[in-house]
Structure 1
């Protein structure tokens, strides 16, 4: 059976959980408290020397890290990866962009505001500016479509909804981004999630 080592508060961990649940896959979840050093223990570092969650251990015992790599591996035979080559490349484009231009800012702002108790003024201005730009990029990317890559729900939507739906935790206002809000609701519905408060 697949084992997931993850922190339920992390968007990167949640997107793996949501994919597994959506696919109806059996798995064992082992909670790793990142805040108390759970991903820095010798046992965890033996699985993932980078000390990052999520990490999965496949049924054959091989570990795999990096949330979007995990998504791609687990969904390789599912309709969540577009069959059209261009749509598949667009999905990958969004997955790479999510880890480079979106997650580093909304997750950092969320962590600092929600878990460290910082005020908006105490969060580095560059973090706030870059996340605002990323949310605007998502709003623009949804201008003529319901889903990010192609005409159907894909891994791009799962990967990007994780922290987008939590943006308010980092001090970001989505009220002026109607397409983004509508997309979040569509993805939550597709995954069977309650709306994030």
Structure 2
């Protein structure tokens, strides 16, 4: 299996983390999105959206979209709850992450890390909605150890990717102590803490 991605991208790291946690063998193919490497004809043949990550399996099939990839790779593992309702709660967080968290927290980080903008140059609406996403996580994590169940799941993998580096997008995680606790525990459970 080959993973085409950028190690600065949380969406790409989700895939790497799942592979590493489950000891799935892969080759990492670095793609520099800032120089157009995800817009070449060869890359677009794998993913017409021109986005990373993309996984190419040994049989030649490809799969894009980070949450679809991790959902596929983790099938049958403890990262997907065996109880159907708990698995649906995990999916609920996966969908929420892509719709209500990533477009704000990750985009503010992209503006600062990739585009070199200052904290004050961030889009105010994205900042407001990013803060709302972090506040929702804080409220939930004040009552729960992890997001979907009492054990780490793909919901935690998905939300950890950009939450743990939210400060790089100008968000102050000191305001979210339950989120900070969850980051430490999720990193430890996934073998990322070091």
Tell me which interval the TM-score lies in, with the shorter structure as reference length.
Answer: over 0.9
Determine whether 1:117 maps to 2:101: no
TM-score (norm 2): 0.97
Helix, strand or coil: the match of 1:78?
Answer: coil
CA distance in structure 2 between the partners assigned to 1:40 and 1:194 by the alignment: 34
Deviation string 1:107-140 (CA, Å, 9 cap, x unpaired) is 1101111222212221110010000000001111
Q: Displacement of 1:141 after TM fit?
A: 1.4
Structure 1 residue ranges without an equivalent (≥5): none
TM-score normalised by length of structure 1: 0.96
- For 1:26 and 1:42, locate their aligned partners in 2 and report how far apart those are by CA, in whole Å: 27
Displaced runs of 4 or more, over 3 A: none
Secondary structure at 1:64 match in 2: strand
CA RMSD of the aligned region, Å? 1.0
Alignment-derived partner of residue 70 in structure 1: 69
Match of 2:140 in 1: 141
The equivalent of 1:12 in structure 2 is 11
* Structure 2 gaps, min length 5: none
Q: Is the 8 A contact 2:184 2:193 kept in 1?
A: no
Q: Deviations over 1:74-130 (max 9, x none)?
A: 001101111112211110000000001101111110111122221222111001000
Deviations 1:56-81 (A, max 9, x none): 01121100000000000000110111
Displacement after TM superposition at 1:41 (Å): 0.5
